[in-house]
Structure 1
Amino acid sequence: MNKIRLALLGLALGSTVSVAGECVPPEPPTVPNGDSSSMEQMLAGQKTVKTFQAANLEYMACLEPQITAAQTELESGSKEASAAVKELEERYNEAVSVEEGLAEKFNAAIRAYKAANPR
């Protein structure tokens, strides 16, 4: 019985890793320079940021079922699942951090644009 359980666990973890491998994080766009960009360039930059955010949301949604499956295995006493949970959670948290960093950069660019182009 234990051999069957270990084989199923190996298959589940192998599937987790391979499916997680199919979850590819999007590349963050380059933020326009607010000091020297035109309004059109800033609007185009805003569009690329929104496109990235949507793609990043899809990436995180791709990771979520894999995290849940690995956590379930970990809770059932699987020591092997610990590494999978850690890796998947790190990838998810990195995606959140990248998006937050991009938002901070774009907001700084907006402030710079407004300072360079007062009404």
Structure 2
Amino acid sequence: MQFIKYTAIALALGAAPAFAAECTAPASPTLPDGASSSMDDMLSGQQAVKAFQAANLEYMKCLEPSLAEAEAAVKAGDEGAEARYQQAQETYNAAVSAEESVAGQFNTEIREYKAANPK
């Protein structure tokens, strides 16, 4: 199930329109299984999540000029700009959703780790 969710996110991010061709979405990290992982595995997972978040932030920064350009074109009455703007918003929002999903799943794995390793 986790693989399917991350594949869907990767596909959504990879489907970036031509306006953001120079921007490359980061791959979602492989997360440890909290129920069966060691502390070292969990710490490695945490580092992978942090690296993903940093790369995703850079990706979103890369998308921002194209998003602003598309928005300005809509305001200027450029024909067809609305579709480009909507596509730009969807791509940016997919990046935000990917980060939220990865963070949420890692938090779930942390709770599973704590449940499997009570002090």
How many Å apart are 1:18 and its aligned residue?
A: 4.8
Match of 1:36 in 2: 36
Indicate the RMSD between aligned Cα atoms, in angstroms: 1.1
- Identity among equivalent positions (%) equals 52
Which AA in structure 2 matches 1:35?
A
Q: Deviations over 1:69-102 (max 9, x none)?
A: 1111110111221121111111000001111111
Match of 2:105 in 1: 105
Q: Deviations over 1:13-64 (max 9, x none)?
A: xxxx655111111010011000000000000000000000000000000011
Structure richer in helix, relative to its length: 1
Q: SS of the residue aligned with 2:21?
A: helix
Which AA in structure 1 matches 2:62?
C
List runs of 5+ in structure 1 lacking aligned partners: 1-16
Q: SS of the residue aligned with 1:112?
A: helix
Q: TM-score, normalising length from structure 2?
A: 0.83
Instruction: Choose 1 or 2 for highest CA Rg.
Output: 1
Which AA in structure 2 matches 1:53?
Q
Match of 2:67 in 1: 67
Residue-pair matches, total: 103
- Could you list the runs of 4 or more consecutive aligned residues of structure 1 that deviate by over 2 angstroms after TM superposition? none
Paired with 2:24 and 2:89, the residues of 1 have a C-alpha distance of 14
Please give the residue correspondences for 1:36-55 in structure 2 after superposition, counting only pairs within 5 Å: 36-55=36-55
